[in-house]
């Protein structure tokens, strides 16, 4: 299986820990976690090049959709697939994120055991 380099952005320490552990179940995923949109942009500016980005929707300061917009304006991440993670799982919300270019949406709560598989399927 192809090694997948992911950037995961979530301001919630507990959820970031659970997602990090869940994605580490797949030995072919290399994960870098960031606690904010600003931290993610700093990593990109420093040369980190993820194959895909998984974003929390609701974050203080820069939320997931705003971060996606910023990523699309940067040449290294302009075409990088993005998956949103959100507790807002109504179809209208999912359609909103997809209309903004999301490759997919994972609704919280999610199954940690199958999270890596789900991410790969959406990509």
pLDDT tens figures, 17-44: 999 999 999 999 999 999 999 999 999 9
- Looking at CATH, the fold of the domain delimited by 4-122 is given as Rossmann fold (3.40.50)
Q: pLDDT 10s digit of each residue in the chain, 123 long?
A: 689 999 999 999 999 999 999 999 999 999 999 999 999 999 999 999 999 999 999 999 999 999 999 999 999 999 999 999 999 889 999 999 999 999 999 999 999 999 999 999 999
Please state, in angstroms and rounded to a whole number, the distance separating the CA atoms of residues 99 and 46.
Answer: 29
Contact 21, 112 (CB under 8 A): yes
Which sequence spans correspond to the domains of the chain? 4-122
Q: Is the pTM of this model over 0.85?
A: yes
């Amino acid at each position: 299986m192809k090694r997948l380099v992911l950037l995961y952005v979530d301001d919630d320490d507990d959820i970031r820990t659970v997602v990090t552990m869940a994605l580490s179940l797949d030995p072919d995923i290399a994960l870098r976690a960031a606690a904010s949109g600003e931290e993610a942009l700093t990593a990109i500016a420093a040369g980190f090049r993820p194959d895909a980005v998984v974003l929390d929707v609701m974050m203080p300061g820069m939320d997931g959709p705003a971060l996606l917009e910023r990523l699309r304006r940067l040449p290294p991440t302009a075409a990088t697939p993005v998956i949103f993670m959100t507790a807002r799982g109504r179809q209208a919300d999912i359609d909103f994120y997809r209309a903004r270019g999301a490759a997919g949406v994972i609704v919280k709560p999610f199954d940690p055991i199958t999270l890596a598989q789900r991410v790969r399927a959406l990509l």
